[in-house]
Amino acid sequence: MIPKRTWQMIASVIGACIVGYFLYHTVEGDHGLVAQMHLQNEVDAAQEKLSRLQTERETLQHRTQLLRPGSLDPDLLDEEARKTLNYSKPGEIVILSPKENSDPAPKQ
């Protein structure tokens, strides 16, 4: 027969193991504190990206509005035409840079 004191120690050890198990999973589990922090970081990054994209969208909408026939901005039209057609105004200084993906001429 096992003494009462031994049963109490066994019950205490089992109880401590159960509490330890739950504490571990509270911190490290799939839905624990560490996972919560990682998820919060992802949410913050997504919010920042959303804010940046909304600002970019508003800028593009404003530029598009300026190109509509009813409110055509001559300066913006001139800028877009020169950029698209590769023209420059008289007196402007044009700096040409080589293409980054251009292959050098083959050597023989």
- Give 3-62 as a 3 state SS string: CHHHHHHHHHHHHHHHHHHHHHHHHHCCCCHHHHHHHHHHHHHHHHHHHHHHHHHHHHHH
At residue 48, the pLDDT reads 97
Average pLDDT over residues 10-18: 96
Q: What was the pLDDT predicted at 106?
A: 53
Angle at which helices 4-28 and 33-66 pack, to 10 degrees? 10
Q: Could you state, in order of their start, the residue ranges of all structural domains in the chain?
A: 7-85
What is the per-residue pLDDT for 84? 84
Tokens of 83: 């950029």
Give the model confidence (pLDDT) of 62-91 as tens digits: 888 877 777 777 877 788 888 888 777 788
Give CA–CA dist 27/38, Å, rounded.
12
| Rounded-to-integer distance, Cα 38 and Cα 17, Å | 27
> 107 vs 38, which has greater pLDDT?
38
